[in-house]
């Protein structure tokens, strides 16, 4: 008994508490990403002191393989919590070999997981600052994303300092491999988004590029709306406007959609026209003018509209097998 007490006294406090701290941070990260996942799936806006959270979380960067990115983050944090806590559930006095094997194996897995999460979070921070903060200032900051990055870095630091690593060279070699694989995989996942935009020569902001492609039905509907004089009053920074563009797809949006830019710093801005339309729209609908707002046959329709509804209210008679959702 005295030898056990002596070993505990000689063990640095950080080594004793690293696992519980990593597990606690992982649980905080799981709560953070669970909230974002539920908000995304229920289409509820996440609480945020600025509009930056909505801009970032509603952008194409917040989805992977058609699922919320936060869902994958939730799974990663839950996995880290399990790795951190599982050895602590084994009584060392009753089953020392099992406890030692679990600690050794899970430390390596914690290191791999924390390294991958830190690299991925670092890339997301780069995206947030280059694509959103650079354009919107504080209005482009996603505080949930920053919190997740802090959690990942904290877990990595605790993993590195939370035990005595026997082979530091192998540790850093493994970390380098994990970092490269994570970065290559991340760039591959986001390549379609990063290359989706076409060169723009007109001055002003254009917002997040449209990722979905257009089917024949989307293109024909966009042509019909343009030909009949319909208008979609929008702003480049508006996430709901981006959702509307994604329904049409990039070909229909860039070539045929009757889009009117209302943001003063947007490309081909028509702010004065939008201000006049805002008064008419509010008088007709009784609602505050927001983005997007459709004007079709002299009537105003606020909010993102389904393509089938736009077809119905505009009298469109063409193909309606919309590939991006009716």
All structural domains of the chain: 9-194 (1.20.1440.130), 216-314 (3.40.30.10)
DSSP readout, 187-236?
HHHHHHHHT-PPP--SSSB--SPP-SPPPHHHHHHHHHHHHTT-EEEE-T
pLDDT at residue 274 greater than cutoff 80: yes
pLDDT at residue 197 greater than cutoff 70: no
Phi and psi at 69, nearest 5°, equal -60, -35
Residue showing tokens 């009117």: 260
What CA–CA distance (Å, rounded) separates 238 from 53?
Answer: 12
Distances (CA, A) of 283 to 263, 276, 278: 21, 11, 9
Q: What was the pLDDT predicted at 8?
A: 52
Task: Kindly provide the b/e burial profile for residues 285-306, where b requires at least 16 CB atoms within 10 angstroms of the residue's own CB.
Answer: eeeebbbbbbbbeeebbbebbe
Give tens-digit pLDDT for 95-146.
Answer: 888 999 999 999 999 999 999 999 999 999 999 998 888 877 887 899 999 9
Give tens-digit pLDDT for 214-241.
Answer: 888 999 999 999 999 999 999 998 888 9
Q: What was the pLDDT predicted at 326?
A: 64
> By percentage, how much of the chain surpasses pLDDT 90?
62
User: Who has greater pLDDT, 9 or 10?
Assistant: 10
Residue 85 burial (10 A CB sphere; 0-12, 13-18, 19+): middle
Helical (H) or strand (E) element with 68: strand 67-68
Taken as a whole, the chain contains a residue count of 326
> By percentage, how much of the chain surpasses pLDDT 70?
93
pLDDT at residue 200 greater than cutoff 50: no
Q: Residue 294: helix, strand or coil by DSSP?
A: strand
State the greatest distance between any 2 C-alpha atoms of the chain, in Å, as a whole number.
Answer: 88
For residue 204, give the nearest of 303, 142, 271 by alpha carbon: 271
Evaluate the omega torsion of the peptide bond into residue 292 and state whether it is cis, within 30 degrees of 0.
Answer: yes
Contact (Cβ atoms closer than 8 angstroms) between residue 147 and residue 56? no
pLDDT band at 76 (very low <50, low <70, confident <90, very high): very high
Contact (Cβ atoms closer than 8 angstroms) between residue 294 and residue 305? yes
Q: Residue 268: helix, strand or coil by DSSP?
A: coil
pLDDT at residue 34 greater than cutoff 80: yes
Supply the Cα-derived Rg of the chain in whole angstroms: 26
User: Who has greater pLDDT, 157 or 55?
Assistant: 157
Q: What is the rounded average pLDDT for all residues in the chain?
A: 88
User: Who has greater pLDDT, 60 or 272?
Assistant: 272
Give tens-digit pLDDT for 173-189.
Answer: 999 999 999 999 999 98
């Amino acid at each position: 008994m005295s030898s056990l007490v002596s070993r505990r006294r000689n063990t640095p406090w950080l080594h004793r508490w690293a696992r519980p701290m990593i597990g606690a941070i992982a649980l905080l990260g799981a709560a953070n990403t669970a909230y974002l996942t539920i908000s995304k799936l229920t289409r509820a806006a996440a609480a945020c002191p600025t509009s930056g959270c909505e801009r970032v979380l509603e952008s194409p960067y917040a989805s992977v393989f058609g699922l919320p990115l936060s869902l994958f983050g939730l799974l990663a944090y839950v996995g880290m919590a399990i790795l951190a806590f599982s050895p602590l559930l084994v009584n060392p006095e009753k089953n020392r070999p099992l406890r030692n094997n679990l600690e050794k194996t899970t430390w390596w897995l914690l290191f791999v997981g924390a390294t991958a999460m830190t690299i991925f979070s670092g890339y997301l921070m780069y995206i947030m600052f280059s694509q959103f903060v650079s354009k919107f200032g504080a209005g482009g900051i996603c505080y949930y994303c920053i919190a997740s990055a802090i959690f990942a870095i904290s877990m990595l630091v605790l993993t590195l300092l939370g035990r005595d690593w026997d082979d530091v060279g192998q540790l850093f070699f493994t970390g380098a491999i994990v970092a490269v694989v994570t970065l290559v995989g991340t760039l591959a996942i986001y390549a379609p988004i990063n290359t989706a935009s076409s060169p723009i020569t007109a001055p002003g902001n254009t917002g997040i590029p449209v990722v979905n492609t257009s089917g024949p039905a989307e293109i024909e509907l966009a042509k019909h709306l343009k030909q009949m004089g319909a208008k979609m009053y929008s702003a480049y920074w508006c996430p709901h406007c981006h959702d509307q563009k994604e329904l049409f797809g990039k070909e229909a949006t860039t070539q045929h959609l009757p889009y009117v830019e209302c943001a003063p710093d947007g490309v081909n801005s028509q702010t004065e026209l939008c201000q006049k339309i805002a008064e008419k729209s509010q008088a007709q609908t009784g609602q505050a003018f927001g983005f997007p707002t459709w004007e079709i046959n002299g009537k105003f329709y606020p909010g993102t509209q389904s393509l089938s509804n736009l077809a119905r209210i505009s009298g469109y008679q063409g193909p309606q097998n919309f590939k991006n959702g009716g």
